[in-house]
């Protein structure tokens, strides 16, 4: 599987990592414990089976408009086989348009199936803070860092793709790369 992700500016990345550490310090599931070097705060726009060179070129052209504003505001909790705590991204019209453009590029050119959870109209933009496959996992508000209650404004500076088979990333556009 391949992703199309947007990465935040350095200050926002440090702030999100600080939230990960605060969640971890409270004894709750957090991405602070995920030590793979590709683990970074990110906003997933889409996933698909593969990105061949023409798709990458089309995505690079689409993502060339970065940077884009980022607003984090509110928490989300996703139930399911893997429970997730996330910081909600409040998308402006530009981010919503960029998401639609990426989806359209992948729909026209990508190999294999697109994840329908990322489809326009279904996509729930967020940055993941914690994940757990334990059915009992939950994140009580009173144990979470207080700063998660405050909106955060940052910038989405560049895009990458994560390859779940090779566990590597590839720069897709914007900024100077991961």
Q: Which domains, and CATH codes, for the chain?
A: 2-174 (3.90.1140.10)
- Quote the pLDDT of residue 36: 84
> Could you tell me the CA-to-CA distances from 44 to 9, 13, 26, 77, 162 in Å, in that order?
15, 15, 26, 16, 10
- Quote the pLDDT of residue 177: 54
Whole-structure pTM value = 0.93
Q: How big, in percent rounded to 5, are the helix, strand and coil portions of the chain? A: 30, 35, 35
- Kindly report, residue by residue over 166-178, the tens digit of the pLDDT: 999 999 988 755 5
**Could you tell me if 158 and 174 are in contact, meaning their C-beta atoms sit under 8 angstroms apart?**
yes
- Quote the pLDDT of residue 34: 84
d(CA 101, CA 159): 14
Helix (H) or strand (E) holding 84: strand 83-89
Count CB atoms within 10 A of the CB of residue 131.
17
Residue numbers in the chain where pLDDT is lower than 70: 111, 176-178
- Quote the pLDDT of residue 35: 81
The encoded tokens of residue 172 equal 């897709």
């Amino acid at each position: 599987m391949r992703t199309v992700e947007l990465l935040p500016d350095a200050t926002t990345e440090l702030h999100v990592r600080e939230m990960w550490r605060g969640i971890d310090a409270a004894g709750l599931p957090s991405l602070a414990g995920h030590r793979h070097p590709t683990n970074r705060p990110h906003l997933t726009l889409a996933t698909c089976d593969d990105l061949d060179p023409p798709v990458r070129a089309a995505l690079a052209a689409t993502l060339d408009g970065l940077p884009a504003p980022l607003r984090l505001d509110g928490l989300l909790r996703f139930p399911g086989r893997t429970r997730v705590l996330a910081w909600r991204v409040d998308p402006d019209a530009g981010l919503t348009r960029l998401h639609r453009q990426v989806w359209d590029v992948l729909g026209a050119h990508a190999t294999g199936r697109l994840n329908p959870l990322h489809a326009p109209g279904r996509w729930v933009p967020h940055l993941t803070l914690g994940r757990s496959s334990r059915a009992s996992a939950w994140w009580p508000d009173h144990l979470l860092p207080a700063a998660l209650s405050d909106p955060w404004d940052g910038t989405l500076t560049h895009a990458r793709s994560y390859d779940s088979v090779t566990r590597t990333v590839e720069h897709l556009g914007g900024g100077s790369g991961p």
